[in-house]
Amino acid sequence: MNKSELNDAELSRYSRQILMPEIDYSGQLTLSQSHAVIFGLGGLGSPASLYLAAAGIGKLTLVDFDEVDDSNLQRQIVHRETNIGQAKVESAKHNLAALNHHIEIETIAHKLEESEVLALVKQANVVLDCTDNFTSRFALNRTCFKAKVPLISGAAIRWEGQLSTYDFRNEESPCYQCLYPEDSGQELTCSQNGVLSPVVGMIGSMQAIEAVKALLNLPTLTGKLMIIDAYTMMIRTLNLKKDKNCKHCS
């Protein structure tokens, strides 16, 4: 994490990114000095963590208190059959470390109090919400807002996915509650409604893209909500303004 330069092995490994003018050597060095916290190592957190590890984010903290079940393997691609019964964070850490030994990976396998979430989020440069329930989503929205850390939020169900970035370094950014007031009712869950495996793969990968851009101060989906219908392959991007009546951020 306290890197001042990239070594030869890293220069070679990340050469396809360093070649891109928007990233270059300095951007890749920034990524290697960055800390991303991923909440949820399920369908979204799997591809997000794999791509962030492969892309050379210097430190990943993985947070999940669930264990790998055989019904997860249809879409949670960071886990293997041999990991069934293990803590998801340990399974993910093992497989991510096998992909990239240059990065540091920490794990948290217990349920966190909101004060612990805040302390963790304050150490992060970017946070990925790969959870599947409103309680966690609202807690991450509150803590990232307080800590002024960008929050990359993804969701997927059936054929549909949603993606947005709430960049709380920018005071104009809306928050998750501007979109979903806390009393907005029943949530849909994949366990009850189903989801096509590559749909979570697509959204989780896009969360990784947004995270890289947030770390490099490149344009993100801040102020926009992307909605993807994988059945028709139509993508819509809606403007999302800060709600002046939002109970949380206004």
Structure tokens that stand for 17 in this block: 């990114």
Q: Which of 53, 9, 11, 50 is nearest to 28 (CA)?
A: 11
Among 126, 175, 209, 211, interactor with Zn ion by CB under 5 A: 175
Nearer to Zn ion, 32 or 220 (CB): 220
Q: Rounded distance, CA 142 to CA 74, Å?
A: 32
Taking alpha carbons only, the member of 124, 153, 125, 146 closest to residue 40 is: 153
- Interface segment toward Zn ion; rule CB under 5 A; list 4-12, 38-46, 176-184, 199-207: 176-184
What token pair was written down for 28?
């890749």
Distance (Å, rounded) from C-alpha 125 to C-alpha 139?
17
* 34 versus 143: smaller Cβ distance to Zn ion: 143
Q: Does 177 bind Zn ion (CB under 5 A)?
A: yes
User: What's the Rg (C-alpha) of the chain?
Assistant: 17
Q: Does 165 bind Zn ion (CB under 5 A)?
A: no
Find how far residue 247's CA is from the centre of its chain. Answer: 25
Closest by CA to 168, choosing from 220, 131, 207, is: 220
Residue 6 vs 175, nearer CB to Zn ion = 175
Cβ 225 to Zn ion, closest distance in Å? 13
105 lies in the binding site for Zn ion (CB under 5 A): no
The region of 13-21, 36-44, 91-99, 170-178 touching Zn ion under the rule CB under 5 A is: 170-178
Residue 225 touching Zn ion (CB under 5 A): no
Q: Is 144 in the site for Zn ion (CB under 5 A)?
A: no
Q: How far is the CB of 241 from Zn ion (least distance, A)?
A: 10
Nearest CA to 39 among 145, 157, 155? Answer: 155
Contact between 240 and Zn ion by CB under 5 A: the answer reads no
178 interacts with Zn ion by CB under 5 A? yes
Asked if 179 touches Zn ion (CB under 5 A), the answer is no
Residue with tokens 């330069």: 5
Region binding Zn ion by CB under 5 A among candidate stretches 40-48, 196-204, 208-216, 242-250: 242-250
C-alpha to C-alpha distance for 160 and 215, rounded to whole angstroms: 27
Nearer to Zn ion, 14 or 168 (CB): 168
Interface residues toward Zn ion, by CB under 5 A: 175, 177-178, 246, 248-249
